[in-house]
Every structure is written in C-alpha cells, then in structure tokens.
Structure 1
Amino acid sequence: MLQTRTEISTLLDSRRAGYSLPAEFYARQDIFEADMDVFFRRHWICVGLECDVPEPGDAQVIDVGQTSVILLRDDDNEIQVVHNVCRHRGSRLLDAGSTVISKLVCPYHQWTYELTGELIHAPHMGSDFDRSCHNLKPVHFKSIGGLIYVCLSDNPPADVQRLADTMEERLAPYDIGNAKVAYQSEVIERGNWKLTIENNRECYHCSANHPELCVSFIDLDFGFDPASLSEEDRAEAEEHQALYEERTRIWEEEGHKSAVVEGVVNCTTNFRTQRLIIAGAGESQTPDATAASNKLLGSMTRKDLGDTHLWGHNCWHHFMGDHAVISIIIPLSPDTTMVRTKWIVHKDAVEGVDYDIEKLTSVWVATTEQDAELVARAHSGVLDPAYEPGPYSRFTEQQLDNFATWYVDQMRENGY
C-alpha cells in the first residue's frame, strides 16, 4: 500500500498545470480504487431524488462500488438512507432496483427491520440479545431541493452546507421532491469516470457533435477565443455576452437567483450553478426549444426563466420551467462508467396528455449517446503509448483545468 501511495504521489507531482492528467489516472486499477475511496466514499455524491421513493414503503437500492445503500420512505413519510447490509451476518437485504416493502426482511434468516432501520425481530437469538445494538447502519445524507446526496464516510465534509444554502432557494420553485420521474435511462460509457466529467464540463465539442442540444444550448456560454472569430462573429459574441449580463440582471431583480456560484477549486465539495439562457424559442431543452410539458414544475408560472444548471463531481442537472434532467454517474471500473439520467415532470402531469415522452427525452437521449461515443474515443486514445497530456484551451476548457487541479488537491488531502 505504501508503495502504491508513493507511486500515485509521484504521478500527482507530474501533473502540469493547464494540461490534462497523465494516462495512468484514467487506466490504473489502483488509482481507480483510490478514486472510489476518496471521491465516492469520503465526498458527498448525488445518488437520487426524493421523488424516486414517492410513497411510504417505496425503496430503491443504489450501488456505489462495493457499497450498497437503500433509499426509502418510511411510514412517517420521511426519507431514510441505510446500508443494504443485514446486521446478522451481512447478507444483502434487497436486490438491485426499486421495490415496495412494509418491513425490511433479510431473506437469509428473517431478521426484520422497521423502515427506519430499527431491528424488531431476530429469531432464536436468546432472551439476553439486545436488538437495539443491531439496527441497520444509517448513511449520512442530505436532501437538497429534493436531490439526495450521501456521504459514505463517518466524517462527511462540512462545506456541503454552501451547496445546500445556495441550491435550496434556487430549486424551491421547481419542487423536485414532489415531482415524478417520467423516464429513466442508464448508459454504460466505455471510459474512465474523469473523462465523463471532463467531457461534460466543456462545450468546445458541442457544435460539432450535439446538433440536437445546440438548438437550445448556446456554446458561446462556455467560452470562445475572440481572436479566432471573424469580425461578424465577434460582434455576435459580444452582443450575446451583453444580453447575458442584462438578462441575468433582470432575473435577479425579479427575485430569480441566476448569477454564477461555484466551488471548483480550493474546496472539498465541488459544484457550480448558474441560470443559463435557452436559445431559440427559449423555453426548454427539446427539439424545438419549446416546453415539453404543459404542466410546469412546482410553483413555476413562466417558461422563459432559462435553465438552472448545477453540476458536482458525479452529476450534472438542468432545471427548466416544464421539466428537469438529472444525470448521475457511478464508476464501475477504470474503463467503464454508468450514466443514469432521469427526466422529471410535475407529479400530476400525464403522459400523452400533458407531455409527449419523445419530445421530453429525445435531446438528452441523443446527447448522452453521442457523449458516450466521445468518451470511449478519448479513453482509447489515452491508453495509446503515443498519448501525452495535452494543453487545455484557456478560453473554453478552464473548467477542465479547475477539475484536474481540484482532483490533485483532493488526492493530496487524503494522503496521496
């Protein structure tokens, strides 16, 4: 272990500011295991939504590496997150996926737990057995505007409070905790999780690879090199930047939090949020940029309030007046990453009446498939002996440099 840590430390030292990471960080099994320990056990990660378990007794199993947790709603309508490990001999309580239960009953020896995790039945353990010492182990979790974040460590980072303070107000009008999941997909990307995140944090590639998304997404929002633009394009970019400043000012004056808030370096909990302008019709991320659902989310009354975007180190989300797109990543191996995407609508919206599922989902279904191909190409390339870390664009890829810097810093802070 000491030798492994020394090798990883040496590789961390070799990372050059402004450049991508050395190939080993995308490929080695020991570094993948370190990533899972540092970034998916010791940090806060987004794993789901309150509306994944809308009714008492609803339960969903979420696996993160070797850890399995149960997200559930108890009989008092409260959210609980517990480890999916029986306190008898460690058997899994529930299988993967969603289910409805009245009690948590271990299929091995029938130890039985309340939905709060309290052990209430342990047959043949004797009169002196203290059930209260064998309740299910709880998981540290926070519901932030209806998003469920967990930390699998006993010492979760305290700075998650800044994320909570920022997003509770911004997400309140969407009432995500009281919405419903209209559709869910799981795409397996053939690449390292860091390549998945890096791909998401820049739009350098958007215009050439995401025609569906670019109907509503504005790639200029993610940076550009003024010197590379024609005089006409530069004038258009400057006009758009002025529009952004004006629109943000108006939104803020109207009480809609819109300005950038971020913690991407010199922090533990990594996040960024901003209200983005939607292009074209300006309503939603759909094939024609008009709203997909006639029934708006929560208390929303307007379709023209843009896209409140939020990302973390294992997720990215888009909240619009009519629906939200929630994307969560779970690393499966050094070269395999699962991207779980959920489309959220008002709880009373009816498919075929209030929304069309194809219009609702097609943009991000296509975008996720396109990104999966790009990540696979990138992963294949970093494994090639000819690969060496390349320079990030200071105009369009600053957030990638920030991510790599944060990654190195967090590895250092956790003993590597």
Structure 2
Amino acid sequence: MPELLLELLSEEIPARMQARAADDLKRLVGDGLKGAGLSFTNAQTYVTPRRLTLVVHGLPAKQADISEERRGPRADAPEQAKQGFMKSLPKDTKVTERETEKGTFLFAQVEQAGGKTRLILPDILQAAMQALPWPKSMRWGRGKARWVRPLHSILAVYDQEGLELEFAGIEAGVTTRGHAFMAPAGFSVSDFADYEKAMKAAKVVIDPDARKQTIAVDAARMCKGAGVTLKDDPALLDEVAGLVEWPIVLMGGIDAEFMDVPPEVLITSMRKHQKYFACLDAKGNLAAKFVVVANRETADGGRQVIAGNERVLRARLADAKFFWDQDRKTTLASKAPQLKDRVFHAKLGTLDEKVDRMQALAVALCDYVPGADRDKVRSAARLAKADLVSEMVGEFPELQ
C-alpha cells in the first residue's frame, strides 16, 4: 500500500524540544488522517538537530466510498421545502417516498465517491505544521508562519511521487540535503527505504536511539582502552544525541592542576557548559579524562577538535578553581550573615529569617529524637543555607 514520507529541514532544533516535536507531528498528522477517513498501518517519526521526519505506512489510494440515506421533508410538505431538499443532493440522486410511523417522507440514497488520498494529504500536512505546538517559535523573512527555527526545505513524497504542498513560503519537493558540513549537496528520494539509505550515505543518522547507541558503545570502547569507565548519565546522553547528526566520540584530558577541585564541581562544569561525559577510575573516583561527541569526521582523527575542547575546558576549570580557592579563604559560618541581604520571598522575608525558622523547628524536633545534641542541630541549621552566598554556588547553582 502507498507510503507517505515527510521531512522538515530547518536550522538547529534545540535538543530539549526534539522528542516532543516528533510526538506532536505524529499525533497531529495521525489525527488528520483519521478525521479524513484515511486508515493507515503505522506511523513513525525521527528527529535530528536539523530535521523532523515522519513516515506513514499502509495508506489507501483513496477514501472509502460512502453510501448514506438522507431523510427529507414530508411528502405533503410545500413544494419549496421539497425543492430545497432536492437541491441539497448530488446531481442524479434518486428520491423516493416511504411510509413511516410519523407519516410519508422523502428519502434519498446518496452515493459519495471517496476522494483521492494524494489530493487530501496536502491540507492535512499543512494543518499539522501550522498547529505544531513549539514551546518557543519564531517568524523570519516577511512570512507569518512560525517554526522553532527558520525552515530550509520540505520533502513530501506519497506513493513515490512528490506532493503539491506549501508552508512558510516553501514549496515541497522530492529533494533534501545531508550533513551540513560533510554532505551538503541535495539529492532526491522516492520512499522511506531510499531516504534512510541516502541519509546514511550523506552522514546523517536519523534515528535518535541509534545515535545514542553509537555514542554509548563507542564511548565505552574508548574508555576501556584508556583504563577508565564512563560515568552513567542518561540525561546527558539524550541531550548530546540531539546535538549531532553523525556522532564521533573523542576523548580528552583534564590538567592535573584541576584535579584537587571537588569532583562535583568538575563534573558540573563539564556537563552543564560543555556537554562532556565524565570518566571514572578503577576506584570509582573522577579520572583525568573526559568524553566529547563531535558532529563530523576530520582528516586528523579529531586531534584538533580534542585540543580545542581541552583549551575551552581549561578556561572553564580555571574559573571553577578560582571560585573554590576564594571560598576556602573564609569559613562557612562567616558567610551566614550575608543571608540577611538575600530575599527569600517578598512575604516571607530574607534567607536569614528563613534560617531562623528552620533553626527553631529543628531544635523543637530534638524532643522527639533520643540523644539529639541541640547545640549541633542549632549550628547545622544555621549553616544549612550559608553556601547560597558562596562564589561556587553563585557560578554553579546546581551545587547548592
């Protein structure tokens, strides 16, 4: 049975929006097809940083024919009413009179031929694209259409032929492009099998799960060769898979001078700012290695990419080390008075006032904890929020 293939090629889609956009596109097109009476076997979506792809299998060539009986006015109704009923029917529809419990009425058996799927699809796809609920979207050029980033092209193929479709001033066609740097030339496709094969040849892995698998396997193999293990981080893996179309796993090193900084700081800096994976040694401690995923192959095997990432990381960690060293010059207790200058809530006062309430509550709970040391509890409560005014938490709020 015929197959529908749709690809929306744009500038980079934020990684956090990709999975939802793919689900929304599948839902909107699926609902449109069902509403038009077009059944299908299954629908699948794929997403990369630059493209949303939908393939629908098992579509019919046309809608099912409809046979519908319509009841008109009573047989003795005014002629004007009967003529109005006749005009509402398709040409050459046979009208008969029939006795019912409520009297004699006019009846017509309306036969309506189903429309061709090829002619129905453009409206369904256009409506789905217009309704796609991006968390944030933009307009570009002089058009009024909105998308997460400017669209470059639309590929729309049904039953191995292009569809006549327009959105955001872009006419759909049967051509697309591969990797932005390694295979930017355009090429045409006839169906999903052809598309998937051509994309792989053009250095694009369209399936995000396949990209995640590649990253995980290659990173594990590289870490094993270096005598370390990859720190498990599923959320970062999901994000990084949404940043690359052709994942190339590389390994860099961390300068020894930064290894005395708490590992939580190093990991947070690498993860948040650079999207690097941390590595662990045989004892489970942070190793002086990191894994970075590039988006292209290079002639030197990634040496310049690694050097560039190490240089950027060096600057990041130098800042982190500076903040760490500054914070260690004073005690946590000496920082606590600064909480008086931080508003917790307009109606609840400062952070210092919040700590007062925490301290009173903690001391009161000591009555229910055998052996509780009130002085230590009071001191712990007073210090609990002191880190919020530290240089380190100011730079890395995740560490509070």
**TM-score using structure 2 length:** 0.24
Larger Rg: 2
TM-score by length of 1: 0.23
Query: Relative to total residues, which structure has the larger helix share, 1 or 2?
Result: 2
